[in-house]
Amino acid sequence: MAKKTKTPQAESAPQEPILSPVTSESEALSDLKVDEPFPESKPVKAVKPKIKEAKIKEAKLGNESVNQPAAFPEDKPVKTKRPAKAKASGTDLPEPQDAVISTAKPQRTKKAPKPEPEAFDKGTQVNESALSAELLHFSQARHNLQAVEPYSNFTEYDIYLFKAGRHYNLYEKLGSHVVTHEGIIGTYFAVWAPNAQYVAVIGNFNGWGEGSNALYNRWDGSGIWEGFIPDVGNGEVYKYYISSNTGEILQKADPFALRWEEPPRTASIIGDTYYEWQDQQWMINRYVYNALDKPFSVYEMHLGSWARNNESPNDFYTYDQIADRLVPYIKEMGFTHVEFMPLMEHPYYPSWGYQITGYYAASSRYGTPQQLMYLIERLHQAGIGVIMDWVPSHFPGDAHGLYNFDGTHLYEHASPSKGFHPDWKSYIFNYGRNEVKAFLISNALFWLSRYHVDALRVDAVASMLYLDYSRNAGEWEPNINGGNENLEAIEFLKEFNMAVYSHFPDVQTIAEESTSFGGVSRPVYSGGLGFGMKWMMGWMHDSLNYFKLDPIHRKHHHSEITFSLLYTFTENFMLPYSHDEVVYGKGSMLNKMPGDEWQRFANLRLLYSYMFTHPGTKLLFMGAEFGQGEEWDFGKSLDWWALEYGNHQGIKETVKALNRLYRTEPALYEKQFDAAGFDWIDGGNADDSILAFTRKGLDAANDLLVVLNMTPNVYYNYRIGAPGQGNWQEIYNSDNNHYWGSGVDNPLPVTAEPEQWHGRDYSVQITVPPLGAVVFKKTNE
């Protein structure tokens, strides 16, 4: 069984989680600045007093003492390209039906007074006594408010849904939310910590003092601690101080925080996701672009290493800065979608984002939530869909994260055989716990709703499905039926897909699943897991193993390149050449190819031609589209200088041509998941290493004849059975001079003759280029 090869998280020792030096560092760096409210936010106070002297408090962290500042210096406001004034429109989740989503208004302990009157002209007549009474009321309210006021965003129905695991918009309830209470702006905090004895909010605003702002424990057994803290607003840094019933003292970042400090700092930041979206046209028509019978060509990328600033190569581009470079490039290349490796907050950069701590926060390495929204908006305006990698399979053991959150195994499974991942040294979610399911499904819907994401690619599904994944005999426990399937994870995945498609029927979910588990991309009602698509990992491995061979040996491995067609229509398969194939010494896509320089580039053009003419949707990792020579290095930019050379430019032009062919020829996408869309003409010619087949759409006039030559030989007057009579025009040739090929082609249409061949009534004679692919279409010329 294939193992994943993500880099394990390595910041803190997961076996004995204590407050790490990184945790205390975030409170100790008093010279670091923190963002003030976004432009749309109201001021926290009318006049914010300046802190003349930092008060230092000694906090006990395990067996160490660390000095922590009372507050950080004030910062300038964050600037965004488009100040947001309202929540994202058009994708809010609907009101609850059959115990799905609660949209009830918050419960407040008192009725909020009328807002403070605005300034008036001298000539305006006012009731001075009424104004004085109202101002006095506000003054008394401010004076009478406690350090933490009783306040709740939860209704009884919310709590019922949460306990049942059916509350799918928890991000509107838990976490930190700026609100107005008794006429005073402040922040409502809510955190799930059922095994805590005491929970307080600590931050810059209270000198990180655990006794200043203690939250209230709800009376209903939900395990939620909550309360309103006056005069605290957007931009403030905070954590939760948790005294567990186990005796542990913990400082945890907020699992529902919308912003985090940039690593290595680890605190949460009060923030929002307000944005004035300008992608309405895309959202209205998204159901067309995302349909399974439409072109779906994906450019997979790691944002931090796609491109760096030449003048400062150690610095990342921000989300909005990279938009000006990325959007035109993907548009030029013809990809229909871009897939981002995880952009959720993660402490360890070499994990590529797959070790997530802030599931609801866009990574602060690249900017603010609004800057990411701007990038997505720009992509949508250019007609490009956005796929986000999502990791519900495991999370790291960092002291400030989800692990051991309230001193107990709250989010992870308590049993090491189910709760610890041996490959990645990380922790596995407890899918049998309702509140954990609600946390994860709410997170999926959060990215689809707040960020207008068009698809979620779910990472490491195979590791979720099997109890014995990467475990030896005796290291795992069978399920209640005696099998190795993780029944709780299976039910979670089904519930996740049902929730996604019921609320967002115009998106897709894509499973990275490497085993023969049945029905991954089949509906839940028919016994499947409910994904829209599944990565075709077997095809990826078989095709790469075949193309690594010297062409003289390929005739002995012919079945490896044709084997995929025996099962390709059992799932809705996506054909991936992903990041996992170009790291850890595997070499780049180009350097997997055999032969001299010309043959290596020809083989790569041929491989991509096979992918784009094979049934299924497509995915190509960044750098592969221009034949980067070195394998991927997440610590630096792609080797864009390679495009100065004609051979690399030829690979780029080939991919552009293949994307154009895929988008414009209905036979390549209308039946890409249907056996009726493919027909072998000759799949058994091992001696010549030739593949010939037909791709079909809804209209026979659009049928395509595809011929692939896996050898460096040129075949002249090569007879192929034709799908029908008439003239056939070459519309694509990977050996074209424009692609750095040798220029062997069929410049004129070929006429199908009434000579039986390959079981067909008609056949054509063509020239087949060396290590080349040719595609013909019927023409009236």
What CA–CA distance (Å, rounded) separates 641 from 629?
A: 11
Both tokens assigned to 100 = 């799905």
* Residues 6 or more apart in contact with residue 139 via CB below 8 angstroms: none
37: nearest Cα among 214, 374, 207, 274: 274
Active site residue 596: no
463 neighbors 4 (Cβ within 8 angstroms): yes
Instruction: Identify the active-site residue in 459, 542, 571, 653.
Output: 459
Separation CA 190–CA 154 (nearest Å): 10
Distance CA 408, CA 420 (A): 14
The sign of the CA dihedral 603, 604, 605, 607 is positive
The total of other beta-carbon atoms located within 10 Å of residue 675's CB is 12
Cα-Cα-Cα-Cα dihedral sign, residues 568, 570, 576, 582: negative
Is 512 marked active-site? yes
Three-class SS state of 268? strand
User: What tokens appear for 395 in the block?
Assistant: 């999370």
* Burial category of 47 from C-beta neighbours within 10 Å (exposed 0-12, middle 13-18, buried 19 and up): exposed
Look up residue 108 and give its two tokens: 């407040």
Q: Strand 151-152 to strand 107-108: parallel, antiparallel, or no bridges (unpaired)?
A: antiparallel
Distance of CA 382 to the CA centre of its chain: 20
Q: Pairing state of beta strands 426-427 and 533-535?
A: unpaired
Which of these is catalytic: 35, 36, 512, 703? 512
CA distance 411 to 427: 9
Evaluated on CA atoms 619, 621, 626, 629, the torsion sign reads: negative
Task: Looking at 454-596, list the stretches that DSSP marks H as alpha helix, in order from N- to C-terminal side.
Answer: 461-465, 487-503, 537-547, 558-562
Token pair in block for residue 304: 């931090």
Query: Which of helix, strand or coil describes residue 427?
Result: strand
> Which residue stretches of 515-674 are H helix?
537-547, 558-562, 597-613, 646-664
User: d(Cα 86, Cα 84) in Å, to the nearest integer?
Assistant: 6
Lookup: tokens for 29: 């760096």
Q: How far apart are CA 569 and CA 291, in angstroms?
A: 17
Task: Tell me how far CA of residue 17 lies from CA of 248, 398, 430, 482, in angstroms.
Answer: 10, 7, 19, 34
Count CB-CB contacts under 10 A for residue 123.
Answer: 5
* 3-state class (DSSP) for residue 769: coil
Name, in order, each residue with C-beta under 8 angstroms of 327's C-beta and a sequence gap of 6 or more. 378, 379, 382, 384
Q: Report CA Rg, the chain.
A: 29
Which residues are designated catalytic? Answer: 459, 512
